[in-house]
Amino acid sequence: MKKLKKIIKRDKSVISGKFNLEHLYTFKDFPIYMGCTDEPFEDDICLDMKWSIDKESGMIQLMDLVPLDILYSRQHMDSTGSTWNEYNDLLASFISNEIDGDIIEIGGGSGKLAIKVLEILKNKISYTIVEPNPLISESKNIKIIKDFFSSNIDNPLNKVRTVVLSQVLEHAYNPEEFLLEIRKYLPENGKFVFGYPNLEYFFSNKHTNAINFEHTLLMTDYFVEYFLKKTGFKLLKKQNFKNHSFFYSVQKSAIHQISQPDSRNYKKFKLMFNEFINYHKNMIRELNHEIINHNGEIFLFGAHIFSQYLIGFGLSTKKINSILDNSPIKIGKRLYGTKLMVQSPKCLSKSINPLVILKAGVYNEEIKTDILTKINSETKFI
């Protein structure tokens, strides 16, 4: 891999703007892209992933950022699996009950959410997706703008009265600026409806998809609501989806001065971060021991950040046959930052005494059940 030369420095708190960040931990030479590629390993790009914490608010944030045009030069998210199907069904229903006028969706990605919303509303509205790397094409009711969102996008006669997004706000480098752009775009009393991951649950349960080069802030729902208030959005409705996400419906309102976040968050989130690091260091020692002593084929599940983190913590890959993943856009490619190729879990059907390293957070049970009931009941998981 080669080192990223062009970076964005973030040495101030995203909450207060002060230079009061305390360094927590650095992952050396971490791959910047959490998807798969057909390109040579030598072309992969890495960067030290340096985490810090705001000593006043407790916000954990990444210090060196990857320029957006590099980070999102390709699409890796296609919402594969039963959990994502259920999530999109419920969020589409939530949106359909909350909208006010036509919709613009920021970061529409696969287009699956748009299709579900239009089905519920019987194509009675106009739906625009703003996404630099869409996996969906334009249709009669769906317009595609291949770009990043800004308030300069045209909204003729203020017909678009609802901004929608799913799993996007956590990607904003400056949440306050991003929310103000959305507020500026919306007409008076316009709605903002979105799905947001339960990052506090993920991180406190040691899930490795909570923070990374795309999720550059441990912006829990506490901080989401702090920023919503600060940027002039009134909370109308909030709904939980398992331990996976929150659904929010908010409305453009007046901007009010609010106080700083609770200072007790500093100790809480610093402790949570240190526990996350120590947990994985200990776990990797145990996994490497199991790998050495296993007599059979070994696989690592997840052509994604889950596997990259494990390898970053020191997981031995010498005996690992391949990465397993259900996503059709990943199978047959190489996980970025590694030399491991991606296969469908169906390859386990011919494997004798297979061992699968599975550390995919809230998706673990879904993946395990699918493999044991449909592919190979003799598969062992660690």
In the chain, the N- to C-terminal Cα span, in Å, equals 29
DSSP 8-state secondary structure symbol assigned to residue 320 = E
- DSSP-derived 3-state class of residue 372: helix
Question: Which CATH number does 82-252 carry?
Answer: 3.40.50.150
pLDDT score recorded for residue 119: 96
Distance of CA 319 to the CA centre of its chain: 29
User: Which pLDDT belongs to residue 158?
Assistant: 81
Q: Average pLDDT of the chain?
A: 95
Mean pLDDT of the region 334-361: 97
Q: 241 has which bridge partners?
A: 245
Sequence ranges of the domains in the chain = 82-252, 296-381
Q: Rounded distance, CA 269 to CA 58, Å?
A: 6
pLDDT reported for residue 173: 97
What is 248-270 written as a DSSP string? EEEEE------PPPPTTHHHHHH
Q: Which tokens in the block code for residue 61?
A: 């944030």
Which CATH fold topology does 296-381 show? Rossmann fold (3.40.50)
pLDDT, residue 77, reads 60
Q: What is the mean pLDDT of residues 228-240?
A: 97
Contact 87, 45 (CB under 8 A): no
pLDDT tens for 168-225 read: 999 999 999 999 999 999 999 999 999 999 999 999 999 999 999 999 999 999 999 9
Alpha helices (H) along 231-316: 265-293, 305-312
User: What DSSP designation does 17 have?
Assistant: -
| 155: confidence class by pLDDT, cuts 50, 70, 90 | confident
Residue 295, Cβ neighbours under 10 Å: how many?
7
**For position 75, what pLDDT does the model report?**
65
Per the CB < 8 A criterion, the answer to whether 29 and 55 are in contact is: no
Are domains 82-252 and 296-381 of this chain identical in fold? yes
What does the pLDDT average to over 326-341? 96
Give the angle 48-6-175 at the CA atoms, nearest 5°. 75
Three-class DSSP category at 33: coil
Instruction: Record the tokens describing residue 110, joined without a space.
Output: 């696969």
Is residue 22 classed exposed, middle or buried when 0-12, 13-18 and 19+ CB atoms within 10 A define those classes?
exposed
pLDDT tens across 21-66, in order? 999 999 999 999 999 999 999 999 999 999 999 999 999 999 999 9
Please, which pLDDT band fits residue 137 given cuts at 50, 70 and 90?
confident
34 touches 305 (CB < 8 A): yes
Nearest residue to 325 (alpha-carbon basis) of 349, 309, 344: 344
**Length of the chain as a residue count:** 382
pLDDT at residue number 346: 97
For the chain, give the percent of residues with pLDDT over 70: 99
347: confidence class by pLDDT, cuts 50, 70, 90: very high
Are the beta carbons of 104 and 153 closer than 8 angstroms?
yes
Q: Which two tokens stand for residue 29?
A: 């030479």
- Round to whole Å and give the CA distance between 372 and 279: 27
